[in-house]
Structure 1
Amino acid sequence: MPTPRHHLNRQRRRQALADQPAPGDRPRTPVGVLTEPAPRTRERPAVKSVRESAAEPKGEAGGGEKTGRAVGGRVPLVVLCVLTLLLGGFAGWAYGRAGELRDDPARGNTALTDLARTSEIKGQTAAAVAALFSYDHADTAPFERAGKTLLTGKAVAQHRTLLGGVLAKAAQQKTVITTTVTDSAVERIDGDRARVLVYADQSSVSTAGTGKGGEAGKKQSTAKDQGVYAGAMFAVDVVHRDGRWLVENIDTFGR
């Protein structure tokens, strides 16, 4: 019969055998004290997980953001190209339109824009017309001087034709012709040339019957002294020479 002491020793041996590790088991390493690199077989799942994570939807979303940024970067470039084409087309149209305006005779007219030159032409033309179409049989010097200094080109012959019949009888009838410009308008100014429309009042008085005696002579004198009054409208072309405007054409509109 075993003694209590033998029974205690048996339990201790059984306990020792139970505490020994099995032959196929490996010693376990506490967490946090690993000093050697992990086996390669443990790295493969990590690599695979990285590749898998790259193929996950999250990775696709990141690629979409990059693609969006790339497209967003191209949009300003496209807009800039379109604006360049539009501006280039507008510049070409504007240049062509400016050329048309320069070539248009109406656009070349500066009568409405150069007010100082327009006023100068009106003033000198009015004075020239008044001198050229006024005649006093008692003092012909101003009339003759105007014909020599204010006419040029074909206007010399035109002026002589218009007043030829009056001048032929002026000495005999003692005629006094007075012309006053009431209004004028500059139709166009083209460089040193201009066209002016003239409105004038004319009066022609003959004093040939003055001084005759008797009632018949007085009646004849009174009738001739009444004179003739009329309005006239015509156009003159003037040219700028030597600091003044000269008449080079007289247009009576077929009259």
Structure 2
Amino acid sequence: MANDTIDAEDVDLDAETAQTRVKRRGAAIRSAPTQRKRPSGTTARAAVAPKKQVAARAGGNRTVIVLAGLLALFVAATGFFGFHYFTAPDDSAAARTQVAQVASDYAVKLSSFDYRDLDKNRQAITAMSTEDFGKKYDEMVKALTEIVSNGKGVATAEVTHAAVESLDGDKATAVLFVNQKARNVVAPDGKSQPYRMVVKLQHHDGRWLVDDVQTV
């Protein structure tokens, strides 16, 4: 009987101890701080991605607007300068070179002659002149033919310097320095004569023609 009583008490103590442990665990669980679950890296990136996409689209739209504005400005500038280029007088270096070449060639032909063939340069000079100045040249040749023939005059010439003084649309003026060497019965050994020539030209049918010549 004594053994049975001891065993019962032991059982009661064990039961009480177990119950106490359960209560303590429950209290510990209730007193523990609640931890919030943090979002994973994938979830965070997914939340940020739409904002970045919206910002990217906004930036892209601004870029498109800026590029469109620059393109419109470029087209307008191209149209303006293209119109100005094709309608403005041709005052380019190439046009000035052409004027200087025509004036120089004309000056050499006009200042060179040989009493044995006074018509040698006549056709070329007439072809390089405007209609009005061509007529003046013919009158000059007729007036000098007898003098040159009687004096047995021969002359050669070279242009030492040529410059375009002005170029305005279809009109131009060139200044040339010409060195002429002439001989005749009075000066059989020849004599050099430098002089300055002012040549006025007009652009007609794609060509520069001489409209006036003056020696100074």
What is the TM-score with the length of structure 2 in the denominator?
A: 0.55
Q: Report the alpha carbon displacement of residue 96 of structure 1 after superposing the two structures with TM.
A: 2.0
Q: Report the alpha carbon displacement of residue 20 of structure 1 after superposing the two structures with TM.
A: 7.0
Name the amino acid aligned to 2:176: Y
Instruction: Say which SS state the counterpart of residue 69 (structure 1) adopts.
Output: helix
User: For residue 63 of structure 2, what is the aligned residue in structure 1?
Assistant: 83
* Contact 2:100/2:174 (<8 A) preserved: no
User: For residue 182 of structure 1, what is the aligned residue in structure 2?
Assistant: 160
Distance 2:201 2:110 in 1: 12
Residue 166 and residue 178 in structure 1: after superposition, are their counterparts in 2 closer, same or farther (change >3 A)? Answer: farther
* Contact 1:184/1:196 (<8 A) preserved: no
2:54 alignment partner, one of 74, 77, 82: 74
Residue 235 and residue 202 in structure 1: after superposition, are their counterparts in 2 closer, same or farther (change >3 A)? Answer: farther
Instruction: Mark the structure with the bigger radius of gyration.
Output: 1
Task: Indicate whether 1:156 and 2:134 are aligned.
Answer: no
Structure 1 stretches lacking a partner, 5+ long: 1-8, 22-27, 29-48, 211-220
* Percent of matched pairs sharing the same residue: 9
Q: Report the alpha carbon displacement of residue 231 of structure 1 after superposing the two structures with TM.
A: 1.0
Task: Indicate whether 1:197 and 2:177 are aligned.
Answer: no
Name the amino acid aligned to 1:231: R
* Contact 1:184/1:197 (<8 A) preserved: yes
Task: Indicate whether 1:130 and 2:121 are aligned.
Answer: no
What is the TM-score with the length of structure 1 in the denominator?
A: 0.49
User: For residue 124 of structure 2, what is the aligned residue in structure 1?
Assistant: 146
Structure 2 stretches lacking a partner, 5+ long: 13-18, 20-33
Name the amino acid aligned to 2:5: R
User: For residue 143 of structure 2, what is the aligned residue in structure 1?
Assistant: 169
Name the amino acid aligned to 1:184: A
Distance 2:112 2:67 in 1: 62
Once the two structures are superposed, the pairs formed by residues 201-212 of structure 1 within 5 Å of their partners are 201=178
Name the amino acid aligned to 1:250: D
* Contact 2:177/2:196 (<8 A) preserved: yes
Q: Report the alpha carbon displacement of residue 14 of structure 1 after superposing the two structures with TM.
A: 3.3
Instruction: Say which SS state the counterpart of residue 104 (structure 1) adopts.
Output: helix
Q: Report the alpha carbon displacement of residue 13 of structure 1 after superposing the two structures with TM.
A: 4.5
Residue 194 and residue 15 in structure 1: after superposition, are their counterparts in 2 closer, same or farther (change >3 A)? Answer: farther
* Contact 1:179/1:201 (<8 A) preserved: yes
Name the amino acid aligned to 2:64: T
* Contact 2:99/2:208 (<8 A) preserved: no
Residue 203 and residue 118 in structure 1: after superposition, are their counterparts in 2 closer, same or farther (change >3 A)? Answer: closer
User: For residue 250 of structure 1, what is the aligned residue in structure 2?
Assistant: 211
Residue 129 and residue 247 in structure 1: after superposition, are their counterparts in 2 closer, same or farther (change >3 A)? Answer: farther
* Contact 1:137/1:170 (<8 A) preserved: no
Distance 2:80 2:9 in 1: 115
Q: Report the alpha carbon displacement of residue 141 of structure 1 after superposing the two structures with TM.
A: 1.6
* Contact 1:181/1:198 (<8 A) preserved: no
